[in-house]
Amino acid sequence: MPATSLLELDGLRHEYSDTGDPGDGRAPLLFLHEGLGSVGLWRGFPERVAAATGRRAVAYSRLGHGRSDPPRGPRGTDFMATEATTTVPALCAALGLDRPVLVGHSDGATIALLAAASMPVGGVVVLAPHVLTEPFALTAIRAARTAFDDGDLRSRMARHHDDPDAAFRGWNDMWLAEEFTDWDIRDTLPGITAPVLAVQGDDDPYGSAVHVRAVAERASGPVSLTELPCGHEPHLELPEPTLSAVTAFLGTLP
């Protein structure tokens, strides 16, 4: 587990880790976790990327996740857009992350795309991003609700989150809300001008290749696609190929 600190933004504390060389002249990396994730649940991937590239790498836990404070109220279906346009730039300003490379997984990848469309960034790496709601993915999200309510998912999450209920409900309730059926951010993608690496597993129960292909078709900057033989967590299921793809992409950035 990486050493973490707490950063106060708008009166609420966010857990974060900070590794690598803060004096490195290249763009720092900011890691944005998945829907049930946290700093610790990256399981060392930010530190591995920092070690492989020499870049500074920061990861943070969204409110209600990890050791961060709980959010002030329930999340709406605009949660990811709000995170991208408020918390991400505020955190970058507070930690001195100038034109960062955003590295996001799942919901964090969506937040990275939305942030890249609204603020200056040096690049974007998205692992299993979401840009619209696919009906088959909701089946897996409903199964997660059953595992949380009736199985051992809550107890497993309690090892990593101070408030497992806030972490789970903030993700699950949003995705299963009726109004989220028509959620679609593809019209936002042309605002992305920075280079993008999009990584997708070919056996992902939470999303198909339609998401990364939409990024490639609609983003205004160059997009590289990498498909790997894995599920929803390429950085954990295939850590070496994923690390190689990310470090190679970072090596191409100005």
Helices 88-95, 107-116: crossing angle, 10 deg rounding: 80
24 or 123: which leads in pLDDT = 123
pLDDT on residue 156: 97
Confidence of residue 79 (pLDDT cuts 50, 70, 90): very high
pLDDT on residue 65: 98
pLDDT on residue 71: 93
pLDDT surpasses 80 at 172: yes
pLDDT on residue 2: 81
Residue 207, helix vs strand vs coil: coil
111: tokens are: 């937040």
Hey, CA dihedral for 186, 49, 45, 23, is it positive or negative? negative
Q: Please compute the mean of the pLDDT values over residues 14-26 and round it to a whole number.
A: 94
pLDDT on residue 66: 98
pLDDT surpasses 90 at 1: no
pLDDT surpasses 90 at 74: no
pLDDT surpasses 90 at 254: no
pLDDT surpasses 80 at 152: yes
Amino acid residing at 165: D
Distance CA 178, CA 175 (A): 8
Q: Please compute the mean of the pLDDT values over residues 14-40 and round it to a whole number.
A: 96
Q: How does pLDDT run across 184-222, given as a tens digit for each residue?
A: 999 999 999 999 999 999 999 999 999 999 999 999 999
- Nearest Cα neighbor of 207 from 156, 146, 137, 126 is 137
18: tokens are: 């900070």
Instruction: Looking at the chain, list the stretches that DSSP marks H as alpha helix, in order from N- to C-terminal side.
Output: 45-53, 79-82, 88-95, 107-116, 135-150, 153-157, 164-175, 210-218, 234-237, 239-252
Alpha-carbon distance values, 127 to 104, 204, 207 (Å): 6, 11, 11
Chain centroid to Cα 116, Å, comes to: 12
Which residue in the block uniquely carries the two structure tokens 């034109």?
99
In sequence order, the 6+-apart residues with CB closer than 8 A to the CB of 249 are 123, 125, 195, 197, 224
Q: To the nearest whole number, what is the mean pLDDT of the chain?
A: 97
Q: Please compute the mean of the pLDDT values over residues 26-32 and round it to a whole number.
A: 97
Distance CA 15, CA 10 (A): 14
Distance CA 112, CA 102 (A): 6
pLDDT on residue 75: 87
Confidence of residue 76 (pLDDT cuts 50, 70, 90): confident
By DSSP bridging, strand 196-201 and strand 29-32 are unpaired
pLDDT surpasses 80 at 85: yes
76 or 237: which leads in pLDDT = 237
Amino acid residing at 119: M
pLDDT surpasses 80 at 226: yes
Chain centroid to Cα 1, Å, comes to: 18
